Chains A and B, each alone.
Chain A
Amino acid sequence: MVIVAGTGMTAFNRRKDGSGFRDWAISAFETALDRSGFERLDIDALVVASESDFFSLQLNPASVLVEDLGLTGIAHQRVEGGGASGQLAVHAGVSLIRAGLARRVAVVGFEASASMLDTAAVTRLYGYSFDAWTDGMTGVSATALYALSARSFMARTGVTSDDFAHVVVQNRCNACGNPDAHLPIEHRLEDILASPVVSDPYRRLDCSPLSDGASAVILAHPDAVPGARRKAARVVGIGAASDRVRLGDRLDPGFFTAKRRAAERAYTMAEIDRPAEQVNLAELYDAYSGAQLQAIEALGLSDNFLYDHRNGVFKPSGRLPVNLSGGLLGQGAPVGATGIAQVIACARQIEGQYHPKLQLDQPPRIAIADTHGGVATSCAVTVLKASAP
């Protein structure tokens, strides 16, 4: 068990102020460090998450950040797992502490997805984030691959484009209470269904934005935490898994098998055997609207996810609120920062310290953060839990 001693993040958006990822990383780290009650000298390892050097034009970013953050001399590493990079970095930090190799670890994620390259260039690069030698050579986009997965999901489950649109409306509505969110918008259902087709069934408003931003958490061994923070949220389960990288090699390209496996591993570590009943909050990887429903299914968060979706179970007032932050669709998606931001949302909700308009009246006891890279190829799930009263 590892304590989330401090959390910090920048706003997620498209920067137009001339700042760069190093500025954002420092800002997020300073906030997390301040909240943790630690001093710089207390930190004995840094884990950096960033998906692509093409976006930042900085190879080995951990080597510059360890210096920028005033941590020169400590162990540092960079973790990359596509969209799952941020959460895998959290897992790396947890593992360092559990293995006894560190007692207080700073995990910092960032991505300059929006302002440094034009959208067409980023989209083109993402086409090589799958199997570049086979699928990638066709020029297929990430959206088109997600769309093919969604087609299979819809054919098997009866999910419709209307169901997808409801996810967008809810998540971006949630984002309206999140001052750090990229797209706080009160959409109408018809807005989603009338937006231009990007790759059918996905329309423009079904897609999460490319964002700039950074996030950070300070993880610590329970024995290495100041008294005031010993009751902070803790990581009680981590799980990761992989699926076949090519959709065509999967038995059902619409089912997120690796997400199911990652969740099972995390639930086992956290001693959760009835996730649909025990999990009180979920921050899920909604890179596309349909992916949120695919995640709910794979994570076992409902015995009948479609019925529950249509009956408000995953709304803020429902039994299991999902993506109160706005998710990737609303809060935004600076890839290396995304998974860490999910953990931040869970930890702050558990502590009753989330954005006032979104804080649950009854803080959750158990929350999960779910992230993936590829079309759920590299999956990572983290379980957070409130400290005992």
Chain B
Amino acid sequence: MKLQLSLEYTLGGGHLRPFLEGLAKGNACAAQCTGCGRVTFPPERVCITRKKQCQAQKSKWLPLSGQGEIVFSTRSMAGAFALVQFDGADNRAVCRIGNPELTGVRATLVASGEERPAMTITPLEEPD
């Protein structure tokens, strides 16, 4: 038997909407906990600090520069990906490397478009 299934989802961004809208345009919209000030990008819904659990459920949106440092990276058949420490964020983010042919430890967030807002970076070439 052969059966083909084609599915089209409509996804609601919910509390992540400002974050997702920012990604579409290449802006880093982080969440800052109103309880302890911890900044997360991608945002956490509940504040869980690494040393103790703040557990605050309220945060405000905070724009970051969108630049950061590649901590670890991997080149795969599906593209290149990195764990990135964005400037001003207290957590790290898994990002697609948009221009894997470029090298550099520093990178910047780039616009990924409204159809599929995703954390995408491009490395910043090191100055000679």
- Seen from chain A, the residues whose Cβ lies within 8 Å of a Cβ on chain B are 57, 123, 127, 133-135, 137-141, 143-145, 147-148, 151-152, 155, 197-201, 244, 246-249, 251, 253
Closest to B51 in A: A251
Q: Which residues of A contact B78 (CB under 8 A)?
A: 123, 127, 139-141, 144, 199
Q: Tell me which of B16, B44, B48, B94 contacts A247 (CB under 8 A).
A: B94
A–B complex contacts, Cβ < 8 Å, 22 sampled = A123-B78, A134-B42, A134-B93, A134-B119, A138-B81, A139-B79, A139-B96, A140-B78, A140-B81, A140-B96, A148-B94, A152-B83, A197-B75, A197-B76, A198-B77, A199-B74, A200-B74, A201-B74, A246-B42, A246-B93, A247-B92, A248-B94
Closest 10 CB pairs of A and B: A199-B76, A248-B92, A137-B118, A147-B74, A151-B72, A138-B96, A134-B42, A144-B76, A135-B94, A138-B118
Extra inter-chain contacts (11) besides given A138-B95, A144-B81, A253-B72, CB under 8 Å:
A134-B16, A134-B119, A138-B119, A139-B78, A139-B96, A147-B76, A148-B82, A148-B94, A200-B75, A246-B91, A248-B84
| B52 interfacial contact with A, CB 8 Å | no
Interface size on B, as a range, is 20 to 34
| B88 interfacial contact with A, CB 8 Å | no
Q: Which of B69-119 contact A (CB under 8 A)?
A: 72-79, 81-84, 91-96, 116-119
Please measure, in the bound complex, the distance between the C-alpha atom of A204 and the C-alpha atom of B78, giving whole angstroms: 14
Closest to B92 in A: A248
Closest to A196 in B: B77
Q: Which residues of B contact A145 (CB under 8 A)?
A: 81, 94
Q: Which residues of B contact A123 (CB under 8 A)?
A: 78
Q: Are A249 and B44 in contact (CB under 8 A)?
A: yes
Please measure, in the bound complex, the distance between the C-alpha atom of A155 and the C-alpha atom of B74, giving whole angstroms: 14
A152 smallest CB distance to B (angstroms):
6
B116 smallest CB distance to A (angstroms):
6
A198 smallest CB distance to B (angstroms):
6
Please measure, in the bound complex, the distance between the C-alpha atom of A244 and the C-alpha atom of B16, giving whole angstroms: 17
Q: Which residues of B contact A135 (CB under 8 A)?
A: 94
The interface centre, meaning the residue of B44, B92, B117 with most chain A CB atoms within 10 A of its CB, is B92
Closest to A134 in B: B42
Q: Are A144 and B74 in contact (CB under 8 A)?
A: yes
Q: Tell me which of B5, B20, B50, B72 contacts A152 (CB under 8 A).
A: B72
